[in-house]
Amino acid sequence: MDLIIPGPASKSLGEKIAENLGLPKVNVETKNFPDGESYVRLEENVEGKRVVIIQSTYPPQNTHLIQLFLMVDAVKNFGAKEIVVVTPYLAYARQDKVFRLYEPISIETILKILEKLGVDKLITINLHEPNVLQKFRFKSVNLSAINLLAKYFLKMGLKDAVAFAPDAKAVKLVEEASKILGGGLGWFKKERNRVTGEISMSCEGEFKVEGKNVILFDDMISTGGTTATAVKMLKQMGVKKVFSACVHPLLVGDALQKILGNGAEKIVATDTIPSKVSIVSVASLITETLKKI
Ligand code: R5P
């Protein structure tokens, strides 16, 4: 790689990665026009260079996505030799199938645009359904930040805590985490009403959590409904303390208060999305991956 371009949504993460790699960075001039349209301009020449654009696409996700598309198109038009896009959080990932007739598969729409714009490689982290990446021509890597989160809790003295998944989709995550924590794992079954968004959760396994510390792992916390419900259920099951770990802290509205209000001790997330609880950095994870490609 020759140049790092920290996009407006990931300026500080991008700068850390440039520093880790000892690579020059290209600043991006950014503004919004009075009608809300986005403007970006690269402050340096990228001709003949292998560039890495780092831009997470958290809310306002439509703006961050458009900024990403504009940056990719600009580096392409100005002759970059290779374009690597790092989207630590890739928006629209949860619409990964047609749930209700006549819906688009939104994550595929986003990836089609990136492919068409000429992206050569895409690096992302804990994508909700990573199999979608295989449908595209560009090379892709879906990293996992679960080990980093589990190690953080280990350092906090939570060895032997039970890693718990709030739904079936997160079971893979707790399998990873429990290898580090060593206290076993468990999961709930979750159902969400596709129209109202209402959640119902049940425990269908025999999990030994009574009197134990439990850490809930999820790829993202959006409204906090999933984690808050899981915290409440675990408390009713007699756990000692319950903690929450997530990779992407979207934290819509009062998500944090909802989770803490239900009895969680602490919420720990990564900096794929900057937030009050983005304590664990994914900079080293991305740096090591960029060194290898
Ligand atoms: C869903 O399958 C995801 O893995 C998360 O559990 C979910 O998106 C979290 O959303 P919320 O915080 O709104 O319940």
User: Could you give the C-alpha distances from 224 to 173, 258, 277, in angstroms and in order?
Assistant: 18, 7, 13
Report the separation in Å between the CA atom of 220 and the middle of ligand 1, taken as the mean of its atom positions. 6
Q: Which residues pair with 6 in a beta bridge?
A: 54
Task: Specify the ligand 1 atom closest to the Cα of 225.
Answer: 14
Any idea which residue has 């392409």 for tokens? Answer: 76
Assess whether the C-beta atom of 219 lies below 6 angstroms from ligand 1: yes
- 103-138 pLDDT, tens per residue? 999 999 999 999 999 999 999 999 999 999 999 999
Report the separation in Å between the CA atom of 190 and the middle of ligand 1, taken as the mean of its atom positions. 10
Nearest to 123 by CA among 85, 166, 167, 173: 85
Predicted confidence (pLDDT) at residue 102 exceeds the cutoff of 90: yes
Assess whether the C-beta atom of 129 lies below 6 angstroms from ligand 1: no
Type of residue found at 80: A
Q: Among all residues, which ones are annotated catalytic? A: 190
Assess whether the C-beta atom of 223 lies below 6 angstroms from ligand 1: yes
Ligand 1 atom 10: the closest Cα is on which residue?
222
What pLDDT was estimated at residue 205? 87
Assess whether the C-beta atom of 250 lies below 6 angstroms from ligand 1: no
pTM of the complete model: 0.96
What pLDDT was estimated at residue 131? 96
Assess whether the C-beta atom of 224 lies below 6 angstroms from ligand 1: yes
Ligand 1 atom 2: the closest Cα is on which residue?
169
- 234-289 pLDDT, tens per residue? 999 999 999 999 999 999 999 999 999 999 999 999 999 999 999 999 999 999 99
> Which ranges of the chain would DSSP assign to H, the alpha helix?
11-21, 61-77, 106-117, 146-155, 171-181, 225-236, 255-261, 283-292
Report the separation in Å between the CA atom of 151 and the middle of ligand 1, taken as the mean of its atom positions. 23
Q: Which residues contact 170 (CB under 8 A, 6 or more apart)?
A: 187, 217, 218, 219
Report the separation in Å between the CA atom of 236 and the middle of ligand 1, taken as the mean of its atom positions. 21
Spatial distance between the Cα atoms of 1 and 4, rounded to a whole number of angstroms: 8
Q: Which residues pair with 285 in a beta bridge?
A: none
Assess whether the C-beta atom of 267 lies below 6 angstroms from ligand 1: no
- 45-68 pLDDT, tens per residue? 999 999 999 999 999 999 999 999
Q: How many Cα atoms sit within 13 Å of 265 on the Cβ side?
A: 14
Spatial distance between the Cα atoms of 22 and 16, rounded to a whole number of angstroms: 10
